[in-house]
Chains A and B, each alone.
Chain A
Amino acid sequence: MSEHRHTRTKAGRHGKAAVAGLFAMSVGLLTTAGVYAALSGVATGSEAVTSGTLNLTLSPDVGSGFSNFVGVMAPGDTDNVYVNLNNTGSLATAAGMTLWVAGTPANALTNGTAPGEGLSVTATQCSVAWTLAGVCGGTTTPILATTQISTMNTAGTAVSLSNIPSLAASTGKVAHVQVSLGLVATETSTNGVAPTPTIQGLSTTLAYTFTEQQRVGTATNQ
């Protein structure tokens, strides 16, 4: 019995000590909070920003632009397409541009399986609009020498076009580009049979991808 009372008394002492401790901690926290509240300050600045855009548009210069070649192409034939390349975005471009041409389906016309043969592309820029007869009344500038599509048929093998200046935003017309498609062939047919591999009698749809890059980023201090 006496032992039980002793235990109770001991527990009561512990409770009082805990309450006292909590009280002391609360006072301490309140004091600390008061100190911080007294030291904090807020300053707010505001700035508006708009991201730029870079849009490369491809549109007919004269004629119908890129469209299907009617008929069959013979070696030496040229299929000329006249297009305008414009940067209609709000960011200027860096100088230069790349081009790659994918064929679907990929075959000997575009993938090099008939060595030395297949489709080729040449691109020439005119300072004024081309005529549909293929005449440039201004100055011509070669931007791509005749190149086999088999060497530029993936994004990774895109070729750099020459003499492409930096294009101003919104009005950065590259001018007028003649894209000329040709067929290179050296194979001889014998007794009514084409050799193997051959570029004869094949069809493909070409996708010409022109890519421009934005101007170099600039640092602004204000």
Chain B
Amino acid sequence: MSLKMQTERIEHTLIVRLQGELDHHTAEKVKSHLEEQIAMNTFTHMLINLNELTFMDSSGLGVLIGRYKQIMERGGQMVVSDVHPSIYRIFEMSGLFKIISVHPSESEALASLEVVS
């Protein structure tokens, strides 16, 4: 039960692909890795692809909201793609959709950011 993370930079966007399970234990690793990337200040927007994320609880919400705030502070946008139904319900419950837009695929999410950058 672990979490793997892959990042790719396209234009002004950092794409983060999460694979595995995002809970309190693995959230720490995701937080510190993404904070390092944000501190390097080489991109504006963040796209988080959850296609291979099989589990997420409220600790995962905390990490996403924390990064959302950092990206907003620099005038960027954060979008999410490929959300599994079980994770979608947690997003709905927390009102996350009001602040972070969700797209069915990574390419659509990326296209939505290219329009604003």
Partners in one complex: no
A-binding residues in B (CB < 8 A): none
